[in-house]
Structure 1
């Protein structure tokens, strides 16, 4: 049962672990966009702008959502855009393997933080790869992958 005693764990998960998972996901999109010659712009959170360093903005409500926008890439190919769309899940999956490997080899001790981190990472992988159209020009990563490979439709803004 969830009690007042659990509020510390909840706050840790909500304000530290979840945003870290979001940042890793968005970093995956930005990495592959950059790899293919685009200039990605990353926005972390919602609300008023707190900090802007080059192409990264951190907003007041840093724990709510993030996005990655990118311009054109070198040698436009559908598979490159698909890899950019899958980049968030690739980074989340890689982070799961890294964390579990570090625990397995005794570098990290088993801890609730790592359990939550893996849980949120799996959550992000699952829901980002579901092929869902959320709004007029905003699709899940899975829908964007399908659309670009099947129809050549490109989404230059990712969540």
Structure 2
């Protein structure tokens, strides 16, 4: 049952844990795109611009979504685009496995923060790989993978 005592946990989940899961996801796209020579731009959040740090743009509602745009791949192959689109979810999966390993080994405690991090990571993986287009017509990672396999080209931005 949700009570007033749970408000603090709620705020931590949505204003700290969820943005961290988003950052892990976007770092997956960024790392793999950079490995293949892409120039990238990415954002955390939505709404009005808050701050720029290099290629990162942080928006006012930093806790709601993220995106990564890449261009000028040195290795412009279909499988590279597929790997870039998959890499966000792969990073989330690696984070889940790493956290579970650290808990299992007793390095970190069983804690609500880690539970929420894993929960939101599973959520991210599912909805990133589920093929759909959002209200603006932008594809999920899963839809982008299908598009690049079908049509041989990728759409920007990813996520």
Q: Shorter-normalised TM-score: what interval?
A: over 0.9
Check conservation: 1:137, 1:155, Cα contact below 8 A: no
Q: Which residue of 1 aligns with 2:40?
A: 40
Query: Secondary structure of the equivalent of 1:110?
Result: coil
Residue correspondences, number: 159
3-state DSSP of counterpart to 1:68: strand
Name the residue aligned to 1:144. 144
Q: 1:90 to 1:78 in 2, by over 3 A?
A: same
2: CA distance, partners of 1:47 / 1:123: 22
- More off after superposition, 105-114 vs 126-135: 126-135
- How far apart in 1 are the matches of 2:57 and 2:133? 26
In the alignment, structure 1 segments of 5+ residues that lack a partner are: none
Which stretch of the first structure deviates more once superposed, 133-142 or 4-13? 133-142
Partner of 1:73: 73
Match of 2:24 in 1: 24
Match of 2:57 in 1: 57
Instruction: Give unmatched runs, 5+ long, in structure 2.
Output: none
Give the TM-score taking structure 1 as reference length.
Answer: 0.95
Aligned 8 A contact 1:85 1:158 in 2:
yes
- Separation in 1 of the partners of 2:116 and 2:53? 29
Answering whether residue 129 of structure 2 is matched by residue 154 of structure 1, we say no
Aligned to 2:8: 8
Shift of 1:136: 5.8
Runs of 4+ in 1 over 6 A off after TM superposition: none
Partner Cα distance (1:135, 1:9) in 2 = 30
* Cross-structure match for 1:95: 95
Cα RMSD, aligned residues only:
1.3
Deviation (angstroms), 1:135: 4.5
